Amino acid sequence: MSSKRKTLFNFLIIIVLTVMTGYVVYPNNQGINIQKYGVNYRNDLNFHLGLDLQGGTHLVYQSDLSQIQESEKESAIGGVRDVIERRVNAFGVSEPIVQTTQKDRIIVELAGIKDVNEAIKMIGETPLLEFKEEVTDEEKNAMREQFKESNIPEEYLSQFFYKTTGLGGKQLDRSDVIFNPNTYEPEVQLQFNDEGKDLFGEITSRSVGKTVAIYLDGMPISVPVVNEPITNGRAVISGNFSTEETKVLVQRLNAGALPVPISLLSQQTISASLGKESIDKSLVAGLVGLLLLSLFMIVYYRMQGVISVLALIIYSLILLSTFKFIPITLTLSGIAGFILSIGMAVDANILIFERVKEEIRKGKPITIAIDEGFSRAWSSIFDSNISTLITCIILAYFGTSIIAGFAITLGIGVAFSMFSAIFVTKNLLKVWTTTKIGKNMWLFGVKK
């Protein structure tokens, strides 16, 4: 493919990308409704606003760790946090924030929550751990006959093939991560008390070759197959687990077996009117900054400035559509990170344009000057953006929710800004040079 055809092909990609992202970002877009092959899926493609913008509830819980050994406190509080997070997710809260602070407190932020009392009730309940065994073949066939006319698929019907055994969290002493001495693969070891030992022995004796499902809060977290009767009160769950997966499973099991009492310390309802005011002020600040920035770029860099403004618009559409698709929960600090990333995207364009002007002054043709300018500016753009990305990763990992929101949006913006500068701006410049006045030196900001 010739250089000219490649440029035109890339330009077509930019147009398609702009149209697609523009459709996603367009505020009156009602979403995409897909109904094929019996699947009903709807993505409303709305921006996910955080607590400070949408309003909602801020809850602070105090955990009682007095009965927990020092070595187990971190695991216990982590397990309770995990249970609360799953509970509020099941409640339908969009992007809840659940985090621990001061080692024994749990902060829960529920953006847009309506029924606060129901959420508090759900969060405060003790985690329910249950062991369920398969029903008999006769009972399975009876269920199949019962739901035969409903045409329920077998995989959906199978979730009803378990019955309660009476074995639960109160009979489980603890669970631990162990490693198989032969394969060195991580496994989960269960230790039952005397009552649980007898119950588990009876269950596994009649379930050889079948599965015994482990449920936490009504959801299966593991469905191991029983290979032999287990009568010593110790069981091992093996499979293709990663070390992280076994740690999470142990944490959930211990959370059900060793529930940590929590009490509500404070409840704060944040008005959505504050969020609307914050959004309005942020939009005004962003638009004013963008207009002043665009004016400077056009006046100083002329046609290159116009192209940089077009590239910024495309960059903003790509970034905003990404926020919708992932989705990213936008907070006020996150919007600040987005606006800052626009400034950094302009910084990359300035480095490129100055390099291009230097090459033109050396007497090189515009097309060659563009290639040389981008090539020479790339190392500076890459180094500065990588250092910013590293900083964003550190802030997102160690920072609070406010700092993390800023770091995440800034980091995503910086990553896309490199694409915008190197791909979008470069190809727009090259397409401009194919026009009749595209090689005018004055329009490139270079004096004749």
Domain boundary among 217, 237, 270: 270
Tell how far CA 400 is from the center of its chain: 16
From residue 192, alpha-carbon distances to 221, 228, 231, 377 in Å are 18, 17, 10, 64
Q: Are residues 252 and 277 in the same domain?
A: no
**Is residue 43 situated within a structural domain?**
no
**Same domain flag for 285 and 262:** no
pLDDT digits (tens, 9 = 90+) for 356-407: 888 888 888 888 888 888 888 888 888 888 999 999 999 888 877 678 888 9
Contact of 313 with 21, CB cutoff 8 Å: no
In a domain, 33, yes or no: no
State how far the Cα of 46 lies from the Cα of 324, in Å rounded to an integer: 6
Average pLDDT, consecutive stretches of 10 residues, N- to C-terminus, the chain (448 residues): 80 90 70 44 62 79 82 79 71 69 83 72 67 80 71 62 80 85 86 90 89 78 84 82 80 62 80 67 80 88 88 90 81 83 85 86 84 87 90 85 84 89 87 76 66
- Looking at the fold, whether 425 and 347 belong to one and the same domain comes out as yes
Instruction: Based on the fold, state whether residues 411 and 306 are members of the same structural domain.
Output: yes
- pLDDT of res. 43: 45
Nearest-angstrom CA–CA distance, 140 and 30:
43
Give which of 442, 85, 421 is closest to 251, Cα–Cα.
Answer: 85
Take residue 117 and report the two structure tokens written for it: 């009392």
Strands 39-43 and 219-222: unpaired
What do you get for the CA distance between the two ends of the chain, in Å?
Answer: 34
Return the residue matching tokens 């070390």. 243
In a domain, 142, yes or no: yes
Evaluate whether 60 touches 99 at the Cβ level (below 8 Å). Answer: no
- Determine the pLDDT at residue 31: 45
Same-domain pairing of 239 and 360: no
Please report whether residue 133 resides in a domain: yes
Whether this model's pTM surpasses 0.75: no
pLDDT at 394: 92
- Non-local CB neighbours of 321 within 8 Å, separated by 6+ positions: 20, 21, 24, 25
pLDDT of amino acid 160: 63
Q: Do 289 and 264 belong to one domain?
A: no
The span from the CA of 210 to the CA of 212, in Å, is: 7
Name the residue range of residue 139's domain. Answer: 56-270
Among candidate residues 243, 270, 297, the one where a domain is terminated: 270
Residues 219 and 307 in one domain: no
- Give the full edge-to-edge strand order of the sheet including 162-168: 162-168, 129-134, 212-216, 219-222
227 and 290 together in one domain: no
pLDDT value of residue 287 = 82
> How many separate domains does the chain show?
2
* CATH for 228: 3.30.1360.200
Residues 188 and 333 in one domain: no
Domain-located, residue 160: yes
Structure tokens at 440: 């005018």
Would 202 be classed as within a structural domain? Answer: yes
Other residues' Cβ atoms within 10 Å of the Cβ of residue 160: 14
Last residue of a domain, one of 248, 270, 292: 270
Q: What is the CATH number of the domain that holds 344?
A: 1.20.1640.10
Pair (164, 185) in one structural domain: yes
Domain membership of residue 380 (yes or no) is yes
Q: 73 and 195: one domain?
A: yes
pLDDT for position 260: 67
Provide the 3-class DSSP secondary structure of residue 296. Answer: helix
Distance CA 122, CA 48 (A): 23
Does residue 86 share a domain with residue 15? Answer: no
Strand 48-49, strand 329-330: pairing = parallel
Q: How far apart are CA 10 and CA 349, in angstroms?
A: 18
Copy the structure tokens of residue 81: 């946090």
In this structure, are residues 216 and 129 in contact, taking their beta carbons and an 8 Å threshold? yes
In a domain, 389, yes or no: yes
